[in-house]
Chains A and B, each alone.
Chain A
Amino acid sequence: MIQFSDVSKFYDNEAALSDITLTIEKGEHIYITGPSGAGKTTLLKLIYAAERPDKGTVSVAGQDTGKLKQGAVPFLRRTIGVVFQDFRLLPNVTVFDNIALALRIHGIDSKEIKENVNDVLASIGMKHKAHEFPRHLSGGEQQMAAIARAIVSKPNVLLADEPTGNLDPGTADTIIKLFREINLRGTTLIIATHHDALFKNTGHRVIYLKEGKIEKETKD
């Protein structure tokens, strides 16, 4: 379970998030939406401890991320898969090695890494791209590779920041279907997006952010 209790975050005395109180249950599929600068990315960053709250507490699986010691941060992050807005794929290594990195960080042996990476690449239909470098991939393929890296270690929580940002509708649909499958396996899924088409009529909880505050919460 993820719990925000009266959380505020400031950058240069400007509030990126103000007095956020929010509970996300285990296995939930939730969307965070709002215009640019509403605080969606900051909210996600607070979950994987890339930012610490200036006020209030953020609790992830019972751990107060604001009080987390430096040495404990990597262990928290290994339980969370993140699909970054800018993909953050390592440019000098292949798609296979980019995905394998997440498992290597977990200290998994090479045989298991090979099996898991090949499985995840097959599930997203990118096995034939395993030995390509990110620069040779299209935007959609890079996004798929970033998702594969985020899910390969079977995290408890998957965060996706604008996962369909610059993708064509076809690729975006594929990605959303993939997310649904991942969520059905029990992974808590939090997607930050400003594309309302993604969550319309899905029946999932949607949190609307505006100027760092929760404007409303619906079940579309």
Chain B
Amino acid sequence: MNTLTYLFQTAVKNFWSEKRINLLTVLTIAVGLLIISAFALITLNIDLTLKNWSGGFGLVVYLKDNISAEEEGLIKNHFKKDTDITSVNYITKEQALKELRQTLGSATHLLEGFESNPLPASFELKLKRESLTPAGIKEKAERLKQFQGVEDVQYGEKWLASMDSLSKGLKVLTVSLGSIILIALAFVTYSTIKILFYRRADEIDTMKLLGASRSFIRLPFLMEGLFIGLSSGIIALSALFGIYAVTTAKTAELIPSIKSFAVFFPPAAYPVLPLGGALMSLIGSLFAIGRIKY
């Protein structure tokens, strides 16, 4: 058995011998991690839902009645070159009028006063999801307006901006809240390890007098901090999965479609919670032990 194995066994023994305070710390940290991860999961779901809704979002380029074939050709050529555009649909004046009549239904008499078709021909453009940023769409719209033969370009500017700020706001809130909770969790481990360090002060003094190095004394405490963080993360992840499964199952009884859009974290993200907990606990433990003096 090498020294590292011995120190690991010492850490496990110490963790078990102080099980009450360690269990309390693990549960406290697990609750903190659960809050952070629940917030992150809600944000992820809202973000995905917003992105799904925005899938049908695009630009409408209205053309002048007197647009020449050459001008129209130039515009179509521009669409082909723009890799952000996923589909282009040309709506003739007649199709536009037909669609309007269908939309108006029994109120088509409103159009009777017009001698000719007042609606312009247009191109409906669909864009890639990642290109649906307020700034990006605005820039595209401004560029299209410069083309000869383009009457106007319209897009849901306000709606897109609201959606974008809601998504960004949620992310900022999650990160800020998460950071505050993580610091608090590091402090919880700091306090526990500090207490355990003081409780074992005599043992530590004896080890120092026998010639133990700093790392020999420190490592079991750091490992103990690591166990606390890791087990807290595993408990928090399991609890989050349980809550998610129960909540979606219960909600599905009222809103069956929830199952089609509610998501849990991908498996690749599962280690983040235990490892994040372990890292914060390790930092807390490092500060708690401080500098060992001889």
The residues of A with any CB-CB pair to B shorter than 8 Å are: 48-50, 70-71, 73-78, 82, 84, 88, 90, 92, 101-102, 104-107, 109-110, 149
Task: Look across to chain B and name the residue whose beta carbon is closest to the beta carbon of A113.
Answer: B1
- Add 19 more A-B contacts to A105-B210, A109-B2 (CB < 8 A): A48-B209, A70-B293, A75-B211, A77-B209, A78-B210, A78-B211, A82-B210, A88-B205, A90-B203, A90-B206, A102-B211, A104-B3, A105-B207, A105-B212, A105-B213, A107-B2, A110-B2, A110-B6, A149-B210
Q: Which residues of A contact B203 (CB under 8 A)?
A: 90, 92
Q: Measured between alpha carbons, how far is A2 from B27 in the docked complex, in Å?
A: 54
Are B207 and A101 in contact, with the CB atoms below 8 A? yes
Q: Does B114 contact A (CB under 8 A)?
A: no
Q: Measured between alpha carbons, how far is A105 from B207 in the docked complex, in Å?
A: 8
Q: Which residues of A contact B216 (CB under 8 A)?
A: 105
Q: Measured between alpha carbons, how far is A90 from B209 in the docked complex, in Å?
A: 13
Q: Measured between alpha carbons, how far is A104 from B203 in the docked complex, in Å?
A: 15
Going nearest first, the 5 A-B pairs with the smallest beta carbon separation are: A77-B211, A110-B1, A78-B211, A73-B294, A74-B211
How many Cβ-Cβ contacts under 8 Å join chain A to chain B?
54
Summarize B's interface: helix, strand, loop or mixed: helix
Are B210 and A109 in contact, with the CB atoms below 8 A? no
Q: Does B83 contact A (CB under 8 A)?
A: no
Give the contacts of B13-36 with A (CB-CB under 8 A).
13, 17
Are A70 and B209 in contact, with the CB atoms below 8 A? no
Are B209 and A88 in contact, with the CB atoms below 8 A? yes
Q: Measured between alpha carbons, how far is A68 from B2 in the docked complex, in Å?
A: 29
Task: Look across to chain A and name the residue whose beta carbon is closest to the beta carbon of B292.
Answer: A70
Give the contacts of B195-219 with A (CB-CB under 8 A).
202-203, 205-214, 216
Q: Which residues of A contact B211 (CB under 8 A)?
A: 74-78, 102, 105-106
Q: Which residues of B contact A106 (CB under 8 A)?
A: 211
- A49, A74, A92, A107: most-surrounded residue (chain B CB, <10 A): A74
Q: Measured between alpha carbons, how far is A74 from B203 in the docked complex, in Å?
A: 15
User: What are 13 pairs between A and B in contact, CB < 8 Å?
Assistant: A75-B211, A77-B208, A78-B210, A78-B211, A88-B202, A88-B209, A90-B203, A101-B207, A105-B207, A105-B210, A106-B211, A107-B2, A109-B1
Q: Measured between alpha carbons, how far is A104 from B216 in the docked complex, in Å?
A: 9
Q: A162 CB to closest chain B CB, in angstroms?
A: 16
Task: Look across to chain B and name the residue whose beta carbon is closest to the beta carbon of A101.
Answer: B210
Are A88 and B206 in contact, with the CB atoms below 8 A? yes
Q: Measured between alpha carbons, how far is A75 from B212 in the docked complex, in Å?
A: 8
Task: Look across to chain B and name the residue whose beta carbon is closest to the beta carbon of A105.
Answer: B212
Are A49 and B294 in contact, with the CB atoms below 8 A? yes
Task: Look across to chain B and name the residue whose beta carbon is closest to the beta carbon of A107.
Answer: B3
Are A70 and B206 in contact, with the CB atoms below 8 A? no
Q: Measured between alpha carbons, how far is A104 from B1 in the docked complex, in Å?
A: 10
Q: Measured between alpha carbons, how far is A110 from B7 in the docked complex, in Å?
A: 13
- B6, B17, B206, B208: most-surrounded residue (chain A CB, <10 A): B206
Are B293 and A104 in contact, with the CB atoms below 8 A? no
Q: Measured between alpha carbons, how far is A149 from B211 in the docked complex, in Å?
A: 12
Q: A152 CB to closest chain B CB, in angstroms?
A: 11
Q: Which residues of B contact A82 (CB under 8 A)?
A: 209-210
Q: Which residues of B contact A84 (CB under 8 A)?
A: 209
Q: B230 CB to closest chain A CB, in angstroms?
A: 24
Q: Measured between alpha carbons, how far is A21 from B100 in the docked complex, in Å?
A: 111
Q: A86 CB to closest chain B CB, in angstroms?
A: 10
Are A102 and B2 in contact, with the CB atoms below 8 A? no
Q: B196 CB to closest chain A CB, in angstroms?
A: 13
Q: Which residues of B contact A48 (CB under 8 A)?
A: 209
Q: Which residues of A contact B1 (CB under 8 A)?
A: 109-110
